[in-house]
Amino acid sequence: MRHIQQLKAGFGQWWRRVARSGVPRIVVVAVVALILGISAGTYFRLPPMPETPPTTAQLFQEEALAAAIREQVHQVLQESYPWVLEEPVIAVAVEPPGPERPSPTEPLSQPEVAETVSFEYLIWPAKGEISTPFGWYRHPVYNDWRFNSGIELAVTDELVRTVLPGRVVSVGSDSFQTELVIDHGGGWQSIYRSVEALTVSPGQEVSQNQTIGRAANGSLFFSLSHNGKPVNPMAFLR
């Protein structure tokens, strides 16, 4: 701090002597500025800022890049695999696969046909008169209401016939009567009770109007069902 004050005092004395000597002020100011500039450059020792020329990135378009890649690949093939370039290029035509043909040893599959039952001509299972109709009725002995899932026939001809073609699915007997069930497809079944002297057995295919037995004791029970639910046979019998 003392050294700075001495410099300031010395500079002030020098400046007053210059002013009294009559030297033009412009020259003095120029000399002082030159001295200050040299002093500042020497003190700070600032390196000059080099001017770097702007670098422009080399841009490749897609076509130029593809051409460069092809050239490199061609050069590698020439150096390492020259035989690849010598072979002619053969165009290969690929045909779409055709439909699969069945083998001669395999049987052709037949389309599935839905089972249908025609009721245009549904014959009676036996000749006779209806003694008990389908539905609710009052029992003649016990005098109570009961549901009849089919019809009771008082038979005049003992022969019992099938009302539709089908397949015998079951034959059962108890101490009172024998029951025979025939499946006609499509969820339809016909049921015959009080039948004796059966001529068919379970698993056997039967045709319409085929004799399957005789009515026992002059009476026959007949019913129709669809998917396990009873249906009034009188809507179809002709």
How do the pLDDT tens digits run along the chain, 238 residues long?
666 666 667 666 666 665 665 555 555 556 666 666 665 555 455 555 556 555 444 555 777 888 888 888 778 777 776 766 665 555 555 566 666 665 655 555 554 544 556 666 688 999 999 998 998 988 888 888 889 899 999 998 889 999 999 999 999 888 788 999 999 999 999 999 999 999 999 999 999 999 999 998 889 999 999 999 999 998 888 7
Q: Where are the domains of the chain?
A: 2-44, 128-235
d(CA 171, CA 201): 7
Q: How far is CA 68 from the centre of its chain?
A: 47
Per-residue model confidence (pLDDT) at position 14: 64
For 97, 224, 225, the CA distances from 111, given in Å and listed in that order, are: 25, 29, 28
d(CA 22, CA 206): 153
Per-residue model confidence (pLDDT) at position 63: 78
What is this structure's pTM? 0.50
d(CA 37, CA 111): 110
Helices (H), 47-182: 62-80, 82-86
Residue 155 · residue 127 · CB < 8 Å: yes
- CATH superfamily, region 128-235: Glucose Permease (Domain IIA) (2.70.70.10)
d(CA 5, CA 24): 27
C-alpha angle 190-196-197 in degrees, rounded to nearest 5:
110
Q: What is the DSSP secondary structure assignment for residue 122, as one 8-state letter?
A: B
**How many C-beta atoms lie closer than 10 Å to residue 181's C-beta?**
19
